[in-house]
Amino acid sequence: MNGVWGNALDTTKTERIYASITSYLQYLKRHYGVEAWAFSFNESDLGIDVRQTAQEHLDLIKGLGAYMKARGLSTTMLLGDVSDATPTWFIQPALNDSTSWPFIGAVSYHSWRGWSDSLLTFWNDAANRVGVPLLVGEGSTDAGAWRYPAIFQEPDFALPEIELYVRMLALSEPKSILQWQLTADYSLLAGGGLFGDSTALRPTQRFWNLKQLASTPAGLSHLPVTCGGTVSCAALGSERRGTYALHVVNMGATRPASVTGLPRRVTSLRVWTTNARQTMEEGPRAVVRGGSARFTLPAASYVTLIGERGR
């Protein structure tokens, strides 16, 4: 293969390929009452297992998208679904061809590499340009970590992983981050026979990180927020509901912190902390006065603050 992965589609069989995929989705809808929302070849920029050029990716979106629509399916296509955040070239032809946009349901990238502010922001801009949500189709930091699974229990793996998630929330503004993966290969649990560990099954720090993130109240939108130094943060809220959430990861030492610009009708913030010692533990509420609150960020910790109007 000379270092080239994957299999190129045979362009002489394009219609048969479209028919095969569409008939499968029609069967799913007809026999199980489930209509797939979107379709994609996984990481086709890299070739797992189908390999495409950027132009071929555009052609598939337009061709298969139109084929499925003509046969009564509402299934859309994912733009990108690339192996990491770096292959921005892969979606350029589709970004520059607005006739493909009606067939695109979401923009997607995987988070294994490419974590600069500019790259994470690029994907947000791309989704906004097409007018669709952004998905992080695979979320984590090391695709090969299953080869040395003891690392899954290390705070030095758990903290950078959640820090990346918070940075993606702030800069990419995804609709969803799909954790890779909730199986034994990248388990959020330890023991119970996983990787030969026969001790009692138990949650790891990564489990509590994701539980804390997933406990964000539903129905919130991304809000602009700034922070600095070794602190990363993301904010979400709903003025209509009067509910606001702030996710903060402190990669450094224990420090005092303050948040400003809170709605004045929010009078306190509930505070949860996860680190090597605390498992989504709720601490004292942070009092809000004049739209500002002060609190403590423990060393090497993930902290979530949630406030509601009039509480």
- pLDDT at position 165, please? 98
Taking a C-beta distance cutoff of 8 angstroms, is the pair 68, 36 a contact? Answer: no
Residue whose C-alpha is closest to residue 249's, from 219, 293, 205: 205
- pLDDT tens, residue by residue, 30-66: 999 999 999 999 999 999 999 999 999 999 999 999 9
- pLDDT tens, residue by residue, 187-213: 999 999 999 999 999 999 999 999 999
- pLDDT at position 244, please? 97
Residue whose C-alpha is closest to residue 257's, from 307, 303, 222, 306: 303
pLDDT band, residue 309 (cuts 50/70/90): confident
List the chain domain ranges: 7-218, 231-309
- pLDDT tens, residue by residue, 138-175: 999 999 999 999 999 999 999 999 999 999 999 999 99
- pLDDT at position 181, please? 87
pLDDT band, residue 84 (cuts 50/70/90): very high
- pLDDT at position 166, please? 98
Q: Is 311's pLDDT higher than 70? A: no
Total-model pTM: 0.95
- pLDDT at position 5, please? 84
Identify the weakest region by mean pLDDT among 3-17, 35-49, 100-114, 282-296: 3-17
Taking a C-beta distance cutoff of 8 angstroms, is the pair 282, 267 a contact? Answer: no
Distance set, CA 271 to CA 128, 245, 300 (Å): 32, 10, 16
- pLDDT at position 192, please? 95
Q: By CB neighbour count within 10 A (0-12 exposed, 13-18 middle, 19+ buried), where does 310 fall? A: exposed
Q: By CB neighbour count within 10 A (0-12 exposed, 13-18 middle, 19+ buried), where does 270 fall? A: middle
pLDDT band, residue 3 (cuts 50/70/90): low
Q: Is 117's pLDDT higher than 70? A: yes
pLDDT band, residue 91 (cuts 50/70/90): very high
271 forms bridges with which residues in the sheet?
283, 305
**In the chain, what percentage of residues exceed pLDDT 90?**
95
Residue whose C-alpha is closest to residue 109's, from 129, 88, 130: 88
pLDDT band, residue 2 (cuts 50/70/90): low
**Average pLDDT value over all residues in the chain:** 96
In the CATH hierarchy, which fold is given to the domain comprising 231-309?
Answer: Immunoglobulin-like (2.60.40)
- pLDDT tens, residue by residue, 267-281: 999 999 999 999 999
Residues 4-32 have a mean pLDDT of 96
Sequence-distant (6+) residues with CB within 8 A of 133 are: 105, 106, 107, 127, 174, 175, 176
In Å, how far from its chain's centre is CA 141?
A: 12
More confident residue, 70 or 228: 70
- pLDDT at position 98, please? 98
- pLDDT at position 239, please? 93
pLDDT band, residue 69 (cuts 50/70/90): very high
- CA–CA distance, 294 with 65 (Å, rounded to integer): 51
Strands 50-51 and 7-8: parallel
pLDDT band, residue 122 (cuts 50/70/90): very high
In the CATH hierarchy, which fold is given to the domain comprising 7-218?
Answer: TIM Barrel (3.20.20)
Q: Is 1's pLDDT higher than 70? A: no
- CA–CA distance, 62 with 45 (Å, rounded to integer): 17
